[in-house]
Amino acid sequence: MPVKILDAYRPGAIGAITEMHARYYGAHWGFGLFFEAMVATELAAFLSRFDDATDRFWVAVADDRIVGSLIIDGGEPEAAELGAHLRMFIVDEAFRGKGLGRDLMQRAVAFCDDGGYARSYVTTFEGLDDARRLYERFGYRLVKEDMDSTWGVRVKEQILERLRPR
């Protein structure tokens, strides 16, 4: 089934992306209502303040259904210090291992580099090994690791950072 990557909001995106996150992290990590509400709230807040000069929002669509997403958020208050925030990266389980995540990451890294971001970062947690390997292939390196409950469940949170090549 062909997949298109769109760089624009699409009706239903907030619900579809929230559902993908809730289903995956609920089934594999025991995350519940707190996490699902956090994803929906943060995604809605991002889209409400979206600025084409600093941000990007990609959705992957197959058969008129959203099957993946990735955000570059350069509008957070922390962006001046930490750089662009890679967020809401997910690929539907049926589409994993087919290069879709790589394609989304290529777009994100190119946007960060072309947009003048000296650094970008992603917040993840220990155990998401496939995602971490993908981040590392694109130059992200672990810079911080702490136990945290921000996700609604206690996990070893990891922050990976990428510096723009000179």
- pLDDT, one tens digit per residue, over 37-69 is 999 999 999 999 999 999 999 999 999 999 999
pLDDT at 50: 96
- pLDDT, one tens digit per residue, over 143-155 is 999 998 777 778 8
Q: Which CATH superfamily is domain 3-117 in?
A: Gcn5-related N-acetyltransferase (GNAT) (3.40.630.30)
CA distances (Å), origin 48, targets 75, 95, 98 = 11, 28, 31
Q: Point out the residues of the chain with pLDDT beneath 50.
A: none
pLDDT at 151: 73
8-state DSSP, 153: S
pLDDT at 150: 75
Phi (first) and psi of residue 139, to 5 degrees: 95, 5
CB 56 within 8 A of CB 107: yes
CB 67 within 8 A of CB 45: no
pLDDT at 153: 79
